[in-house]
Protein backbone atom coordinates (compact mmCIF):
# COMPACT_ATOMS: atom_id res chain seq x y z
CA UNK A 1 0.00 0.00 0.00
CA UNK A 2 2.37 2.60 -1.35
CA UNK A 3 0.18 5.68 -0.97
CA UNK A 4 -2.70 6.76 1.24
CA UNK A 5 -5.00 6.38 -1.76
CA UNK A 6 -3.87 2.75 -2.32
CA UNK A 7 -4.43 2.10 1.36
CA UNK A 8 -7.93 3.57 1.31
CA UNK A 9 -8.81 1.61 -1.85
CA UNK A 10 -7.55 -1.65 -0.35
CA UNK A 11 -9.44 -1.02 2.89
CA UNK A 12 -12.72 -0.37 1.06
CA UNK A 13 -12.27 -3.43 -1.17
CA UNK A 14 -11.81 -5.59 1.97
CA UNK A 15 -14.82 -3.92 3.60
CA UNK A 16 -17.07 -4.71 0.61
CA UNK A 17 -15.79 -8.31 0.51
CA UNK A 18 -16.24 -9.05 4.21
CA UNK A 19 -19.62 -7.34 4.45
CA UNK A 20 -20.69 -9.73 1.69
CA UNK A 21 -19.08 -12.57 3.74
CA UNK A 22 -16.97 -13.18 0.60
CA UNK A 23 -13.80 -14.85 1.94
CA UNK A 24 -12.61 -15.79 -1.59
CA UNK A 25 -12.40 -12.17 -2.75
CA UNK A 26 -10.82 -11.05 0.53
CA UNK A 27 -8.22 -13.86 0.20
CA UNK A 28 -7.35 -12.84 -3.38
CA UNK A 29 -7.01 -9.19 -2.31
CA UNK A 30 -4.71 -10.18 0.55
CA UNK A 31 -2.55 -12.50 -1.61
CA UNK A 32 -2.17 -9.72 -4.15
CA UNK A 33 -1.00 -7.27 -1.46
CA UNK A 34 1.39 -9.86 0.05
CA UNK A 35 2.81 -10.48 -3.47
CA UNK A 36 3.45 -6.75 -3.73
CA UNK A 37 5.48 -6.88 -0.52
CA UNK A 38 2.89 -5.51 1.94
CA UNK A 39 3.42 -7.26 5.31
CA UNK A 40 0.45 -9.09 6.86
CA UNK A 41 0.69 -6.84 9.95
CA UNK A 42 0.11 -3.81 7.73
CA UNK A 43 -2.92 -5.44 6.13
CA UNK A 44 -4.34 -6.15 9.60
CA UNK A 45 -3.58 -2.78 11.16
CA UNK A 46 -4.40 -0.53 8.18
CA UNK A 47 -7.30 -2.38 6.58
CA UNK A 48 -8.86 -5.18 8.66
CA UNK A 49 -8.80 -3.59 12.14
CA UNK A 50 -10.12 -0.16 10.97
CA UNK A 51 -12.86 -1.97 9.05
CA UNK A 52 -13.88 -3.86 12.18
CA UNK A 53 -13.96 -0.56 14.08
CA UNK A 54 -16.19 0.94 11.36
CA UNK A 55 -18.48 -2.11 11.44
CA UNK A 56 -18.73 -1.74 15.24
CA UNK A 57 -19.60 1.96 14.94
CA UNK A 58 -22.29 1.21 12.35
CA UNK A 59 -23.73 -1.47 14.65
CA UNK A 60 -23.58 0.94 17.61
CA UNK A 61 -25.60 3.49 15.58
CA UNK A 62 -28.08 0.77 14.58
CA UNK A 63 -27.12 0.98 10.85
CA UNK A 64 -25.87 -2.61 10.62
CA UNK A 65 -27.48 -5.73 12.05
CA UNK A 66 -25.79 -8.24 14.33
CA UNK A 67 -25.86 -10.80 11.48
CA UNK A 68 -23.91 -8.41 9.18
CA UNK A 69 -21.29 -7.96 11.89
CA UNK A 70 -21.10 -11.73 12.59
CA UNK A 71 -20.71 -12.54 8.87
CA UNK A 72 -17.95 -9.97 8.40
CA UNK A 73 -16.07 -11.12 11.51
CA UNK A 74 -16.28 -14.79 10.50
CA UNK A 75 -14.94 -13.87 7.02
CA UNK A 76 -11.92 -12.08 8.53
CA UNK A 77 -11.26 -14.97 10.93
CA UNK A 78 -11.26 -17.38 7.98
CA UNK A 79 -8.99 -15.06 6.04
CA UNK A 80 -6.43 -14.81 8.85
CA UNK A 81 -6.52 -18.57 9.37
CA UNK A 82 -5.85 -19.09 5.66
CA UNK A 83 -2.98 -16.61 5.57
CA UNK A 84 -1.12 -17.00 8.81
CA UNK A 85 -0.36 -20.57 9.73
CA UNK A 86 2.73 -22.36 8.49
CA UNK A 87 2.11 -25.84 7.10
CA UNK A 88 5.28 -27.16 8.68
CA UNK A 89 6.06 -26.22 12.26
CA UNK A 90 9.65 -25.64 13.43
CA UNK A 91 10.13 -28.03 16.39
CA UNK A 92 12.54 -25.57 18.06
CA UNK A 93 10.22 -22.58 17.79
CA UNK A 94 9.45 -20.63 21.00
CA UNK A 95 5.98 -21.35 22.30
CA UNK A 96 3.28 -18.81 23.12
CA UNK A 97 -0.38 -19.25 24.04
CA UNK A 98 -2.85 -16.61 22.86
CA UNK A 99 -6.22 -16.27 24.59
CA UNK A 100 -9.07 -13.92 25.44
CA UNK A 101 -9.59 -12.85 29.03
CA UNK A 102 -12.22 -14.81 30.99
CA UNK A 103 -15.62 -13.46 29.91
CA UNK A 104 -14.42 -11.87 26.67
CA UNK A 105 -15.56 -13.39 23.38
CA UNK A 106 -13.62 -11.13 20.97
CA UNK A 107 -11.61 -13.98 19.47
CA UNK A 108 -10.74 -12.12 16.26
CA UNK A 109 -8.40 -9.88 18.27
CA UNK A 110 -6.51 -12.99 19.46
CA UNK A 111 -6.50 -14.30 15.89
CA UNK A 112 -4.69 -11.18 14.63
CA UNK A 113 -2.08 -11.38 17.41
CA UNK A 114 -1.66 -15.14 16.78
CA UNK A 115 -1.18 -14.48 13.06
CA UNK A 116 1.58 -11.90 13.65
CA UNK A 117 3.38 -14.20 16.12
CA UNK A 118 3.02 -17.21 13.82
CA UNK A 119 4.51 -15.27 10.91
CA UNK A 120 7.41 -14.18 13.14
CA UNK A 121 8.25 -17.85 13.74
CA UNK A 122 6.61 -18.50 17.11
CA UNK A 123 4.79 -21.75 17.80
CA UNK A 124 1.35 -20.42 18.61
CA UNK A 125 -1.47 -22.15 20.45
CA UNK A 126 -4.63 -20.16 19.96
CA UNK A 127 -7.23 -20.73 22.67
CA UNK A 128 -9.56 -18.01 21.40
CA UNK A 129 -12.71 -16.79 23.14
CA UNK A 130 -13.42 -16.59 26.85
CA UNK A 131 -11.86 -19.38 28.84
CA UNK A 132 -12.45 -19.82 32.60
CA UNK A 133 -9.27 -18.71 34.37
CA UNK A 134 -8.85 -22.05 36.16
CA UNK A 135 -8.93 -23.93 32.86
CA UNK A 136 -6.43 -21.52 31.35
CA UNK A 137 -4.13 -21.98 34.36
CA UNK A 138 -4.37 -25.76 34.09
CA UNK A 139 -3.51 -25.66 30.37
CA UNK A 140 -0.56 -23.31 30.91
CA UNK A 141 0.79 -25.44 33.78
CA UNK A 142 0.66 -28.49 31.54
CA UNK A 143 2.18 -26.92 28.40
CA UNK A 144 4.57 -24.36 29.97
CA UNK A 145 4.78 -21.86 27.05
CA UNK A 146 7.23 -18.94 27.26
CA UNK A 147 4.35 -16.50 27.48
CA UNK A 148 0.62 -15.95 27.51
CA UNK A 149 -0.59 -13.20 25.14
CA UNK A 150 -3.88 -12.14 26.71
CA UNK A 151 -6.45 -10.02 24.94
CA UNK A 152 -9.21 -8.00 26.59
CA UNK A 153 -11.59 -5.98 24.43
CA UNK A 154 -14.54 -5.08 26.66
CA UNK A 155 -14.18 -3.32 30.03
CA UNK A 156 -16.68 -5.70 31.65
CA UNK A 157 -14.09 -8.47 31.18
CA UNK A 158 -11.32 -6.61 33.08
CA UNK A 159 -12.08 -8.49 36.35
CA UNK A 160 -11.86 -11.68 34.24
CA UNK A 161 -8.53 -10.46 32.84
CA UNK A 162 -7.23 -10.11 36.39
CA UNK A 163 -8.27 -13.72 37.12
CA UNK A 164 -6.64 -14.94 33.87
CA UNK A 165 -3.38 -13.14 34.72
CA UNK A 166 -3.33 -14.57 38.26
CA UNK A 167 -3.93 -18.08 36.89
CA UNK A 168 -1.03 -17.69 34.41
CA UNK A 169 1.29 -16.45 37.15
CA UNK A 170 0.35 -19.38 39.37
CA UNK A 171 1.51 -21.58 36.49
CA UNK A 172 4.72 -19.46 36.36
CA UNK A 173 3.91 -18.14 32.88
CA UNK A 174 4.42 -14.40 32.25
CA UNK A 175 1.67 -12.38 30.57
CA UNK A 176 1.78 -9.90 27.72
CA UNK A 177 -1.56 -8.07 27.67
CA UNK A 178 -3.29 -6.04 24.97
CA UNK A 179 -6.66 -5.04 23.57
CA UNK A 180 -8.87 -1.96 23.71
CA UNK A 181 -10.23 -2.52 27.27
CA UNK A 182 -6.78 -1.79 28.69
CA UNK A 183 -6.96 1.73 27.22
CA UNK A 184 -4.45 3.60 25.07
CA UNK A 185 -1.47 2.95 27.37
CA UNK A 186 -0.38 0.04 29.52
CA UNK A 187 -1.26 1.29 33.02
CA UNK A 188 -4.44 -0.78 33.48
CA UNK A 189 -2.76 -3.95 32.26
CA UNK A 190 0.18 -3.45 34.64
CA UNK A 191 -2.17 -2.60 37.54
CA UNK A 192 -3.93 -5.92 36.92
CA UNK A 193 -0.60 -7.75 37.15
CA UNK A 194 0.45 -8.16 33.50
CA UNK A 195 4.20 -8.37 32.94
CA UNK A 196 3.95 -6.12 29.88
CA UNK A 197 1.44 -4.45 27.58
CA UNK A 198 1.62 -3.74 23.86
CA UNK A 199 -0.71 -1.71 21.65
CA UNK A 200 -0.93 -3.98 18.62
CA UNK A 201 0.05 -7.25 17.03
CA UNK A 202 3.33 -5.97 15.59
CA UNK A 203 4.48 -4.63 18.96
CA UNK A 204 3.45 -7.93 20.58
CA UNK A 205 6.16 -9.66 18.56
CA UNK A 206 8.75 -6.96 19.35
CA UNK A 207 7.95 -7.07 23.09
CA UNK A 208 8.15 -10.85 23.38
CA UNK A 209 11.49 -10.81 21.59
CA UNK A 210 13.15 -8.35 23.97
CA UNK A 211 11.46 -8.71 27.39
CA UNK A 212 12.85 -10.30 30.55
CA UNK A 213 9.68 -10.84 32.58
CA UNK A 214 9.50 -11.64 36.28
CA UNK A 215 5.97 -13.02 36.92
CA UNK A 216 6.55 -13.38 40.64
CA UNK A 217 7.45 -9.70 40.99
CA UNK A 218 4.58 -8.59 38.72
CA UNK A 219 2.12 -10.59 40.83
CA UNK A 220 3.52 -9.32 44.14
CA UNK A 221 3.03 -5.72 42.95
CA UNK A 222 -0.76 -6.14 42.59
CA UNK A 223 -2.57 -4.74 45.64
CA UNK A 224 -5.17 -6.85 47.48
CA UNK A 225 -8.56 -6.30 45.79
CA UNK A 226 -11.03 -4.00 47.53
CA UNK A 227 -13.37 -6.25 49.63
CA UNK A 228 -16.43 -4.83 47.81
CA UNK A 229 -15.26 -6.39 44.52
CA UNK A 230 -16.13 -9.89 45.67
CA UNK A 231 -19.33 -8.77 47.39
CA UNK A 232 -20.43 -7.02 44.19
CA UNK A 233 -19.77 -10.11 42.08
CA UNK A 234 -21.81 -12.24 44.52
CA UNK A 235 -24.72 -9.80 44.45
CA UNK A 236 -24.77 -9.30 40.64
CA UNK A 237 -27.87 -11.41 39.99
CA UNK A 238 -30.02 -9.91 42.77
CA UNK A 239 -28.93 -6.36 41.89
CA UNK A 240 -29.81 -6.96 38.24
CA UNK A 241 -33.27 -8.03 39.39
CA UNK A 242 -33.73 -4.84 41.40
CA UNK A 243 -32.70 -2.70 38.42
CA UNK A 244 -34.95 -4.54 35.96
CA UNK A 245 -37.96 -4.28 38.24
CA UNK A 246 -37.48 -0.49 38.47
CA UNK A 247 -36.99 -0.08 34.71
CA UNK A 248 -40.10 -2.19 33.99
CA UNK A 249 -42.22 -0.13 36.40
CA UNK A 250 -41.30 2.96 34.44
CA UNK A 251 -41.87 1.48 31.01
CA UNK A 252 -43.11 -2.09 30.41
CA UNK A 253 -41.07 -4.05 27.87
CA UNK A 254 -41.04 -7.43 26.16
CA UNK A 255 -39.18 -10.57 27.30
CA UNK A 256 -36.42 -10.17 24.65
CA UNK A 257 -35.75 -6.60 25.77
CA UNK A 258 -35.70 -7.71 29.41
CA UNK A 259 -32.96 -10.24 28.56
CA UNK A 260 -30.94 -7.59 26.72
CA UNK A 261 -31.32 -5.11 29.55
CA UNK A 262 -30.35 -7.76 32.11
CA UNK A 263 -27.13 -8.36 30.10
CA UNK A 264 -26.45 -4.62 30.06
CA UNK A 265 -27.00 -4.27 33.83
CA UNK A 266 -24.70 -7.27 34.39
CA UNK A 267 -22.06 -5.58 32.21
CA UNK A 268 -22.48 -2.30 34.12
CA UNK A 269 -21.92 -4.09 37.44
CA UNK A 270 -18.83 -5.85 36.09
CA UNK A 271 -17.43 -2.53 34.87
CA UNK A 272 -18.16 -1.03 38.31
CA UNK A 273 -16.13 -3.91 39.77
CA UNK A 274 -13.32 -3.15 37.29
CA UNK A 275 -13.41 0.54 38.26
CA UNK A 276 -13.02 -0.35 41.94
CA UNK A 277 -10.34 -2.94 41.24
CA UNK A 278 -8.35 -0.34 39.30
CA UNK A 279 -9.39 2.57 41.55
CA UNK A 280 -10.29 4.40 38.33
CA UNK A 281 -13.82 5.89 38.15
CA UNK A 282 -13.23 6.87 34.49
CA UNK A 283 -13.54 3.20 33.49
CA UNK A 284 -17.20 3.24 34.59
CA UNK A 285 -17.86 6.80 33.36
CA UNK A 286 -16.62 5.97 29.83
CA UNK A 287 -18.65 2.78 29.77
CA UNK A 288 -21.83 4.59 30.86
CA UNK A 289 -21.37 7.21 28.13
CA UNK A 290 -21.14 4.37 25.60
CA UNK A 291 -24.12 2.53 27.13
CA UNK A 292 -26.39 5.61 27.09
CA UNK A 293 -25.62 6.13 23.38
CA UNK A 294 -25.98 2.50 22.37
CA UNK A 295 -29.16 1.68 24.30
CA UNK A 296 -30.87 4.77 22.88
CA UNK A 297 -29.88 3.69 19.34
CA UNK A 298 -31.25 0.18 19.99
CA UNK A 299 -34.78 1.10 21.00
CA UNK A 300 -34.56 1.61 24.79
CA UNK A 301 -36.16 4.66 26.40
CA UNK A 302 -33.98 7.71 26.86
CA UNK A 303 -32.88 7.75 30.52
CA UNK A 304 -33.06 3.98 31.10
CA UNK A 305 -29.40 3.84 32.19
CA UNK A 306 -29.93 6.53 34.83
CA UNK A 307 -33.09 4.81 36.03
CA UNK A 308 -31.02 1.62 36.48
CA UNK A 309 -28.26 3.54 38.29
CA UNK A 310 -30.87 5.07 40.63
CA UNK A 311 -32.27 1.64 41.52
CA UNK A 312 -28.79 0.23 42.13
CA UNK A 313 -27.74 3.15 44.33
CA UNK A 314 -30.88 2.55 46.45
CA UNK A 315 -29.93 -1.13 46.94
CA UNK A 316 -26.28 -0.62 47.88
CA UNK A 317 -26.39 0.75 51.41
CA UNK A 318 -24.05 -1.97 52.63
CA UNK A 319 -21.47 -1.41 49.86
CA UNK A 320 -20.59 2.28 50.38
CA UNK A 321 -17.67 2.47 47.90
CA UNK A 322 -19.76 1.04 45.06
CA UNK A 323 -22.72 3.22 46.02
CA UNK A 324 -20.57 6.38 45.88
CA UNK A 325 -19.05 5.33 42.54
CA UNK A 326 -22.48 4.82 40.94
CA UNK A 327 -23.91 7.96 42.52
CA UNK A 328 -21.02 10.08 41.21
CA UNK A 329 -21.35 8.49 37.78
CA UNK A 330 -25.07 9.31 37.75
CA UNK A 331 -24.55 12.89 38.90
CA UNK A 332 -21.62 13.34 36.49
CA UNK A 333 -23.94 12.72 33.56
CA UNK A 334 -26.65 15.21 34.55
C1 LIG B 1 -16.35 -8.28 16.03
C2 LIG B 1 -16.94 -7.74 17.30
C3 LIG B 1 -17.69 -8.61 18.10
C4 LIG B 1 -17.86 -10.09 17.81
C5 LIG B 1 -16.56 -10.83 18.15
C6 LIG B 1 -16.44 -12.10 17.32
C7 LIG B 1 -15.06 -12.60 17.23
N8 LIG B 1 -14.98 -13.81 16.76
O9 LIG B 1 -14.09 -11.95 17.59
C10 LIG B 1 -19.04 -10.49 18.74
C11 LIG B 1 -20.34 -10.43 17.98
C12 LIG B 1 -18.94 -11.85 19.44
C13 LIG B 1 -19.03 -9.35 19.74
C14 LIG B 1 -19.68 -9.44 20.94
C15 LIG B 1 -19.84 -8.35 21.78
N16 LIG B 1 -19.40 -7.10 21.57
CO17 LIG B 1 -18.18 -6.61 20.15
N18 LIG B 1 -17.25 -5.86 18.73
C19 LIG B 1 -16.74 -6.38 17.66
C20 LIG B 1 -16.04 -5.28 16.80
C21 LIG B 1 -17.00 -4.90 15.68
C22 LIG B 1 -14.68 -5.62 16.22
C23 LIG B 1 -13.63 -6.14 17.20
C24 LIG B 1 -12.46 -6.65 16.40
O25 LIG B 1 -12.43 -7.82 16.05
N26 LIG B 1 -11.54 -5.76 15.98
C27 LIG B 1 -10.41 -6.13 15.12
C28 LIG B 1 -9.19 -6.43 15.95
C29 LIG B 1 -8.07 -6.97 15.05
O30 LIG B 1 -8.80 -5.19 16.48
P31 LIG B 1 -8.59 -4.98 18.05
O32 LIG B 1 -9.51 -5.83 18.83
O33 LIG B 1 -8.58 -3.53 18.38
O34 LIG B 1 -7.13 -5.57 18.27
C35 LIG B 1 -5.97 -4.83 17.99
C36 LIG B 1 -5.39 -4.17 19.24
O37 LIG B 1 -6.38 -3.82 20.20
C38 LIG B 1 -4.40 -5.14 19.71
N39 LIG B 1 -4.74 -6.26 20.57
C40 LIG B 1 -5.90 -6.90 20.78
N41 LIG B 1 -5.72 -7.93 21.60
C42 LIG B 1 -4.42 -7.97 21.92
C43 LIG B 1 -3.69 -8.84 22.75
C44 LIG B 1 -2.32 -8.63 22.91
C45 LIG B 1 -1.54 -9.55 23.76
C46 LIG B 1 -1.69 -7.52 22.27
C47 LIG B 1 -0.27 -7.28 22.48
C48 LIG B 1 -2.42 -6.67 21.44
C49 LIG B 1 -3.77 -6.89 21.29
O50 LIG B 1 -3.89 -5.70 18.51
C51 LIG B 1 -4.95 -5.85 17.55
C52 LIG B 1 -4.46 -5.63 16.13
O53 LIG B 1 -3.26 -5.01 16.03
C54 LIG B 1 -15.87 -4.17 17.88
C55 LIG B 1 -15.77 -2.75 17.35
C56 LIG B 1 -14.37 -2.15 17.55
N57 LIG B 1 -14.28 -0.86 17.35
O58 LIG B 1 -13.43 -2.80 17.91
C59 LIG B 1 -17.09 -4.42 18.80
C60 LIG B 1 -17.05 -3.97 20.24
C61 LIG B 1 -15.68 -4.20 20.84
N62 LIG B 1 -18.03 -4.86 20.88
C63 LIG B 1 -18.75 -4.28 21.77
C64 LIG B 1 -19.75 -4.91 22.55
C65 LIG B 1 -20.53 -4.03 23.49
C66 LIG B 1 -19.99 -6.27 22.46
C67 LIG B 1 -21.04 -7.04 23.28
C68 LIG B 1 -21.11 -6.71 24.77
C69 LIG B 1 -22.39 -6.84 22.60
C70 LIG B 1 -23.56 -7.47 23.29
N71 LIG B 1 -24.37 -6.64 23.90
O72 LIG B 1 -23.68 -8.66 23.28
C73 LIG B 1 -20.59 -8.50 23.06
C74 LIG B 1 -19.57 -8.94 24.14
C75 LIG B 1 -19.67 -10.34 24.50
C76 LIG B 1 -18.49 -10.72 25.37
N77 LIG B 1 -18.77 -11.17 26.58
O78 LIG B 1 -17.35 -10.62 24.97
C79 LIG B 1 -18.39 -2.81 21.92
C80 LIG B 1 -17.60 -2.53 23.22
C81 LIG B 1 -17.94 -1.19 23.80
C82 LIG B 1 -17.71 -1.11 25.26
N83 LIG B 1 -17.23 0.03 25.69
O84 LIG B 1 -17.99 -2.01 26.00
C85 LIG B 1 -17.63 -2.52 20.56
C86 LIG B 1 -16.55 -1.44 20.66
C87 LIG B 1 -18.71 -2.13 19.51
C88 LIG B 1 -19.24 -0.74 19.70
N89 LIG B 1 -18.76 0.23 18.97
O90 LIG B 1 -20.11 -0.52 20.49
N91 LIG B 1 -18.34 -8.27 19.25
Domain ranges of the chain: 1-83, 85-222, 227-333
pLDDT of residue 217: 94
Cα 152 to middle of ligand 1, angstroms: 8
- The answer, yes or no, to whether residue 148 has pLDDT greater than 70, is yes
**Model pLDDT for residues 200-228, shown as the tens digit of each residue:** 988 999 999 999 999 999 999 999 999 99
Cα 154 to middle of ligand 1, angstroms: 7
Kindly state the average pLDDT of the residues 265-270. Answer: 97
- The answer, yes or no, to whether residue 21 has pLDDT greater than 60, is yes
Q: Quickly state the pLDDT bin for 193 (edges 50, 70, 90).
A: very high
> Using a CB cutoff of 8 Å and minimum separation of 24, what contacts does 12-21 make?
14/47, 14/48, 14/51, 15/51, 15/54, 15/55, 17/75, 18/51, 18/71, 18/72, 18/75, 18/76, 18/79, 19/55, 19/68, 19/71, 19/72, 21/71, 21/72, 21/74, 21/75
Nearest residue by C-alpha to atom 58 in ligand 1: 53
Q: Is 126 in the pocket of ligand 1 (CB under 6 A)?
A: no
Kindly state the average pLDDT of the residues 165-190. Answer: 97
Kindly state the average pLDDT of the residues 28-43. Answer: 89
Residue 147 vs residue 44, higher pLDDT: 147
- The answer, yes or no, to whether residue 91 has pLDDT greater than 90, is no
Cα 104 to middle of ligand 1, angstroms: 9
CATH of domain 85-222: 3.40.50.280
CA distance 222 to 220: 6
CATH fold label, 1-83 = 1.10.1240
Nearest residue by C-alpha to atom 67 in ligand 1: 154
Kindly state the average pLDDT of the residues 286-305. Answer: 88
pLDDT of residue 321: 97
Which of 247-256, 311-320, 321-330 has the least mean pLDDT?
A: 247-256
First to last CA, the chain: 46
Averaged pLDDT of the chain: 92
Nearest residue by C-alpha to atom 65 in ligand 1: 154
Nearest residue by C-alpha to atom 83 in ligand 1: 287
- The answer, yes or no, to whether residue 81 has pLDDT greater than 90, is no
pLDDT of residue 334: 56
Q: Is 322 in the pocket of ligand 1 (CB under 6 A)?
A: no
> Using a CB cutoff of 8 Å and minimum separation of 24, what contacts does 55-58 make?
55/15, 55/19
Q: Quickly state the pLDDT bin for 2 (edges 50, 70, 90).
A: low
Q: Is 291 in the pocket of ligand 1 (CB under 6 A)?
A: no
Which of 4-13, 209-218, 253-262 has the least mean pLDDT?
A: 253-262
pLDDT of residue 333: 63
Tell which one of 53, 56, 151, 175 to mutate to probe ligand 1, the residue whose CB is within 8 A of the most ligand atoms. Answer: 56
Q: Quickly state the pLDDT bin for 174 (edges 50, 70, 90).
A: very high
The pTM assigned to this predicted structure is: 0.92
Q: Is 1 in the pocket of ligand 1 (CB under 6 A)?
A: no
pLDDT of residue 44: 87
CATH fold label, 227-333 = Globin-like (1.10.490)
- Are the CB atoms for 41 and 80 separated by under 8 Å? no
Kindly state the average pLDDT of the residues 69-96. Answer: 85
- The answer, yes or no, to whether residue 39 has pLDDT greater than 80, is yes
CA distance 324 to 198: 33
pLDDT of residue 83: 82
Q: Is 65 in the pocket of ligand 1 (CB under 6 A)?
A: no
- The answer, yes or no, to whether residue 169 has pLDDT greater than 90, is yes
Q: Is 305 in the pocket of ligand 1 (CB under 6 A)?
A: no
Q: Is 201 in the pocket of ligand 1 (CB under 6 A)?
A: yes
- The answer, yes or no, to whether residue 273 has pLDDT greater than 90, is yes
Q: Quickly state the pLDDT bin for 128 (edges 50, 70, 90).
A: confident
Q: Return the ligand 1 atom nearest residue 260 CA.
A: 71
- The answer, yes or no, to whether residue 90 has pLDDT greater than 90, is no
Amino acid sequence: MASERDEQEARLAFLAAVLGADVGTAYRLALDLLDRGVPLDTIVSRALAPNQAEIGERWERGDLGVADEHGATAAIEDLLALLAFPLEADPDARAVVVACAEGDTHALSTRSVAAALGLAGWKVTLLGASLPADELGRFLGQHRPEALALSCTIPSALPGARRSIRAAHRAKVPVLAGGRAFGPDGHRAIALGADAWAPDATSAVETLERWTPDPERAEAAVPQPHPECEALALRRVSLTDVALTRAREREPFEAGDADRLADEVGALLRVAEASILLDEPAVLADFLAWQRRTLAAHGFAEGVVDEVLGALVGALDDLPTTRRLLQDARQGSS
